[in-house]
Amino acid sequence: MTKRKIYLPNALIQELADIVKTQAYTALMPVFSEVSCSGEEASSTEYLSLDLSDAKLLIRLADIEMSKAILKYPYNEDDDPQYDPLHEEQFDEIMMGVYEKTYYYLQSEFPALKEGA
Amino acid sequence: MKRKLEDSKYTVLTPNDLWKFYSSVVGIYRGGGNTQSPKLLRANGPRARDVTIVYDPEHEIDMVVPDSSKGLSFASNIEKLSKNPTISGHVWILPKGESLPEGLVFNVKDYTHPLLNVSRRMSLSEFTEKLVVLSSKLRPAQIKIEKGTGRIIEQIPGALKQAEAM
């Protein structure tokens, strides 16, 4: 498959790169091989070179992060008797952050992902 | 006026454009809320990842600058919130006809997924104030998206039908 330059906000690229590195996700290492995580370049990277299979792997990563958030912050809902505001804040950071945004930017460029990765 | 989305480009909808563009919906939805709030803001302010924030050294404050590729996510229908991805929590609606505070716009590349952002450079505190005003205009849709499954749960019987006909 042909790779294309896909826009993602720099902060999202940095977060994804950090997860790939710390979790040692070998399958995604090539995607971030040219992404600088430090120095001036780190703050300017706004494109990743991706094909559909790369995008599917990133969606898988986003799903894993969301699954972890569900397991780590179960008391995130204010109508739950065990509600914990800290759980809500942490859960939202993941859901409205790396999870939702990874889906959004990749689905915008790869419509096939809307049918399920 | 009927605006058309251009492939791979963002269309910027001003407060005047919004309901002309979304003329066939009853409102636009915000997922991930709780029972009290649509949570456009965190306890300590807007999420930095939603918008572009730069530091203004002259005034020593953070400024939010227009960026058509970013914004707070909304949805043109409830189903959009339920899967791929699942945005769990309570759904809130900005009913059609409600005005956007001056200085806010929606950036749209995907019709079903408008992004709320600023139309002009403004301080982070001004942006916060505008989000508070906008929050007060959103109404609970009485619908909750279940965590993990994406199941649409009506908080009161008929809520889904009511929200889509509001």
The ipTM, to two decimals, is 0.91
A104–B113 CB contact, under 8 Å:
yes
Q: What is the residue type of A82?
A: Q
Give the residue from A47, A103, A4 showing the smallest Cα distance to B86. A103
Give the global pTM.
0.92
pLDDT grade for A39, boundaries at 50, 70 and 90:
low
Q: Is A90 helix (H, G, I), strand (E, B) or coil?
A: helix
Helix (H, G, I), strand (E, B) or coil at B44: coil
Q: How many CB atoms lie within 10 A of CB A72?
A: 12
Per DSSP (E only), the strands in chain A are 4-7, 47-50
In chain A, residues 27-56 whose CB comes closer than 8 Å to chain B: none
Tens of pLDDT, residues A5-22: 999 999 999 999 999 999
Binary contact (A100, B73; C-beta < 8 A):
yes
Mean pLDDT split into 10-residue runs, chain B, 166 residues = 68 93 94 97 89 94 95 95 95 96 95 96 97 97 95 89 75
- Which of A11, A95, A115 is opposite residue B88, by nearest beta carbon? A95
- Does the beta-carbon distance from B85 to A99 stay under 8 Å? yes
CA separation for the pair B53, A7 (Å, rounded): 18
> Which residues is B11 bridged to in the sheet?
B108
How many residues can be counted in chain A? 117
At residue A44, the pLDDT reads 78
Q: What is the pLDDT of residue B1?
A: 47
pLDDT at B5: 73
